[in-house]
Amino acid sequence: MNILNTVYAQGEGIPLILLHAFPVDHRMWDECARLITAKAEESGLAPVSVYAPDMPGAGECPVPDEASTGARADDGAYTEALDNMAHAFVDLLHQLGHRQAIWVGLSMGGYLALAIQRLHPEAVAGMALCDTKADADSPESMRHRLQIAEECEASDGVEAVMGFAQPHEQDSDIKKSQRIVDLFTQWIRSQSPQGVAWRERMAAGRCDQNDQLATITTPALVLSGDLDPSSPPASMRPMADAMTKADVRFVEVGNSGHFSAVEHPESVANALVNLVERVRTAQ
C-alpha cells in the first residue's frame, strides 16, 4: 500500500502520528496539530514531530489494488485490509526513521491504532483512542457500510456519506455551525467514491479488538465527546477501565460530538500534549 504522509512539525524523539476519521482525510487534524505544536512549546517541551498520514483511498492517497487489499468476503467486506493497512503504517514509521510512535486514532483511526497494537506492539510508545470503539461491526452496521460502499461505486459519487457534513439535532453547537458544515462538505466532496467504498469495506471486515485493551502497557489516553452518538462516554469509559496495564487517562470533552478534534481542537491538543509528556517521562 502507498501511504501519503503529511508533516505538520519536525521535532525530537518519538513522533505523534494522527490517524483520521471517516469519511474525511488528514485535514481534519489541521487545527489540532497546529495547537499541539504551540502548546508543546508553551509547556517547555522539546519540539515533537507531528505526522498525519492519509489512509488508503483518503484524500490523494490511492486506492490499493486487490493484492494489497487482501481477501474479500462473499458479502464484499475486506477481511484482511485493516491488518495490511496496519503493516503499511508501521512500514511508514520505519521509513521516517522511527521505531515507535504515539498513535492517535479518532473513530476509524482508532480501529487502525488498535490493529497496530495487535500486530506491532513494539511500535507503540503511547496510545490515544478518541471517539472510537474496539468492537467489530454488528450485522446491521456491516450491512449499512457495505450498502454505502455499493452506492458510492455504482453512482461514482459520495452522496451516500454527505450526511456526515449535515447538522443534526443532537450535534454540538460547533458541529451545527455553518463554518463546520462548509468545512466537512468541502472535505467529503473532495474524496474519491472508490476510496470511500474501500474504507467502508475495510471497516466492515475488521475483527473485534477488545482483547487488545488489556495488552496496552504504555501511557494512554481515552477521549470522548459528551454528545458523541456512536462512541459516547458511557461506552468509552469501560475501554479505559479495560486498560489495566496502562497509565491511562480518560477525558470527556463537553459540547462535543463524534469529531472532537475538529469541534474542540484545543481540548484535544491539551490532552495529547499531556500524553506526550507522560510518554517522555516513561522512556
pLDDT digits (tens, 9 = 90+) for 197-242: 999 999 999 999 999 999 999 999 999 999 999 999 999 999 999 9
Q: Mapping DSSP to helix (H, G, I), strand (E, B) and coil, where does residue 77 land?
A: coil
pLDDT tens, residue by residue, 114-170: 999 999 999 999 999 999 999 999 999 999 999 999 999 999 999 999 999 998 999
Residue 283 has pLDDT above 90, yes or no: no
Listed by start position, the domains of the chain span 5-136+208-282
What is the dihedral sign for C-alpha 113, 222, 231, 159?
negative
Distance of CA 48 to the CA centre of its chain: 19
pLDDT tens, residue by residue, 158-206: 999 999 999 899 999 999 999 999 999 999 999 999 999 999 999 999 9
CA-nearest of 48, 50, 52 to 12 is 48
pLDDT tens, residue by residue, 46-74: 999 999 999 999 999 999 999 999 999 99
Euclidean distance between CA atoms 55 and 109, whole angstroms: 9
Q: What CATH fold (topology level) applies to the domain 5-136+208-282?
A: Rossmann fold (3.40.50)
Residue 193's CB is within 10 A of a number of other CB atoms, namely 21
Place of cell 500500500: 1
| Residues near 102 by beta carbon (within 8 Å), at least 6 away in sequence | 14, 15, 16, 17, 125, 126, 127, 128, 272, 275, 276, 279
pLDDT band at 82 (very low <50, low <70, confident <90, very high): very high
Give the C-alpha distances (Å, rounded to integers) separating 201 from 31, 74, 133, 208, 235. Answer: 29, 12, 17, 15, 24
pLDDT of residue 235: 97
The cell numbers describing 131, all together, are 471517539
pLDDT of residue 49: 98
What is the rounded average pLDDT for all residues in the chain?
A: 98
